[in-house]
Amino acid sequence: MNAPLQHAVSLTDLQQRIINQLQGEFPLHPRPYAEAAQRVGCDEATLLQQLRQLLRDGVLTRFGPLFQVERMGGAFVLAALKVPEADYARVSALVNALPAVAHNYRREHALNMWFVLATAQPQGIATAIAQIEQDTGLAVHAFPKLREYYVGMQFAVGGQAPVGQRPGNTPLRDVILDAQDHQLVKRSQGGLALQPHPYAELAAALGCSEDAVLQRLQRMLESGVVRRIGAVPNHYAIGYRANGMVVFDVADVQVDTLGEQVGQQAFVSHCYRRPRHLPDWPYNLFAMCHGADHAAVEQQARQLRSLLGAACTQHAVLFSSRILKKSGLRL
C-alpha cells in the first residue's frame, strides 16, 4: 500500500452498525457470523456479504484477531527515518519490502517516515534496523517503548466520538504458546475466513478439532496474546480524517505520573514513554490522537499541553499525510 489518505465514504445504516458494534467481542462459536449478525440486525449471509464489500472498498483493513506480539515473546518498536524528498519513493519501497515492517506512514516533520517493526523474537528488531540502514544508507531512529501508559481504541462512524476505549483492569493470565498456537497465529493474522465456519476452516488447516481452536483463542484472549477479535476500520474512511502523533518534552521525574494522566484522556488511543534522540528529538512522551480534522487534533494537543503544565517545555504534532504500508502483524 502507498496511498493518500482516504476520504470518508457513504455508509448504509447496516454498515455503520457493523463497524461500530463488531470491533471486538466477536463470538467464539461454531457459527460466529450468524451470532454476530443478530447483534447488528441482519442474517448471516447478509453480514458476510457486507463484510466482503467493506473490505473490498477499503473501509475495513481486516476482520479477525489482533495479536499483541510482546505477549507472544516477540517485540515491536516505533522507528523513523529522515528521508530526502528526492529519494522518498525509493526508500519507501525498500522499507515496505521488509516483512518486519507492519505499518509505515509519512508524517510532516524532518523525521518524515515513521514505521513499526514487529518481530517474533526481540533480537529480530536489531536485525531489521541493520537491514534498513544497509538498504537505504540512512540512520534509523529507534523509539522502543520504555513504559506503556495506555493502549485501547474504538472508532465510531462519523469521526466525532472519542476513540480511547477504557476496558476494565482484568488481570491477564500467564501463557506459554506451543507450536500449534504459533501456527494458529500465522493462519489467522491476516483475518478470519468470510464463510459460515471460519474456526472449522482453521482447524482443518491445523489438523485439530474446531473446539481446540476455540479453546486456544479463548486462552489467548485471556492472556492478552489476542487484544480483540473483530473489525479493524480504516479510520480515515469512516470520518477520522486527522491522525496526529502528539509528542512532548516532559521532565523525567514527572513523566510517569503525567503519562498516566495523558493516557486517561478519552481522545487518546495510545500513550507511551519513549527515549529522546538529542539534539534532534527532545520528546519523551508520545500520545496518539484522532479527530475529524486537523483542528480537532490540534485542540486535543492543546488540552494535553495544558494538563502537563510547567513540566512540559515543548511539544509537536506530527500529522500523517500518507499511508505507505499497513499490513499489521505478520510473523
Q: What is the pLDDT of residues 140-188, one digit of tens each?
A: 999 999 999 999 888 989 888 878 765 545 566 777 889 999 999 999 9
Residues 14 and 159 in one domain: no
Distance, CA of 206 to CA of 7 (rounded, Å): 40
Which of 159, 147, 105, 170 minimizes the C-alpha distance to 285? 147
Other CB atoms closer than 10 Å to residue 284's CB: what's the count?
A: 21
- 70 DSSP β-pair partners: none
What is the per-residue pLDDT for 330?
A: 66
Phi, psi of 36 (to 5 degrees): -65, -35
In a domain, 225, yes or no: no
Distance, CA of 217 to CA of 221 (rounded, Å): 6
In a domain, 268, yes or no: yes
Domain that holds residue 53: 10-57
Residues 152 and 242 in one domain: yes
Phi, psi of 106 (to 5 degrees): -85, 130
In a domain, 143, yes or no: yes
Residues 53 and 76 in one domain: no
Residues 98 and 123 in one domain: yes
Distance, CA of 90 to CA of 136 (rounded, Å): 8
What pLDDT, in 10s, does the model give residues 12-56? 999 999 999 999 999 999 999 999 999 999 999 999 999 999 999
Residues 248 and 313 in one domain: yes
What's the whole-number average pLDDT of the chain?
Answer: 92
Q: Which residues of the chain have pLDDT under 50?
A: 168
What is the per-residue pLDDT for 170?
A: 58
* Residues 169-177: contacts with CB under 8 Å, at least 24 apart: 172/71, 172/222, 172/223, 172/224, 173/219, 173/222, 173/223, 174/223, 175/71, 175/219, 175/220, 175/222, 175/223, 175/225, 177/72, 177/73, 177/225
What is the per-residue pLDDT for 253?
A: 97
What is the per-residue pLDDT for 231?
A: 96
Scan for cell 477479535, then name that residue: 229
Residues 33 and 135 in one domain: no
In a domain, 171, yes or no: no
Residues 288 and 145 in one domain: yes
Residues 96 and 155 in one domain: yes
Residues 128 and 255 in one domain: yes
In a domain, 184, yes or no: no
Residues 17 and 160 in one domain: no
Using left for φ > 0, alpha for ψ between -120 and 50, and beta otherwise, residue 230 falls in left
Residues 261 and 297 in one domain: yes
**CB-count burial class (<10 Å; 0-12, 13-18, 19+) for 165:** middle
Which of 160, 154, 158 minimizes the C-alpha distance to 11? 158
In a domain, 266, yes or no: yes
Alpha helices in 137-254 (DSSP H): 179-188, 198-206, 210-223
Residues 243 and 108 in one domain: yes
Which of 108, 115, 110, 111 minimizes the C-alpha distance to 92? 115
pTM over 0.85: yes
* Dihedral sign of CA atoms 177, 181, 186, 192 in order: negative
110's grid cell: 524532518
| Total number of domains in the chain | 2
In a domain, 201, yes or no: no
Scan for cell 509519512, then name that residue: 106
CATH number of the domain bearing residue 119: 3.30.70.3460
In a domain, 113, yes or no: yes
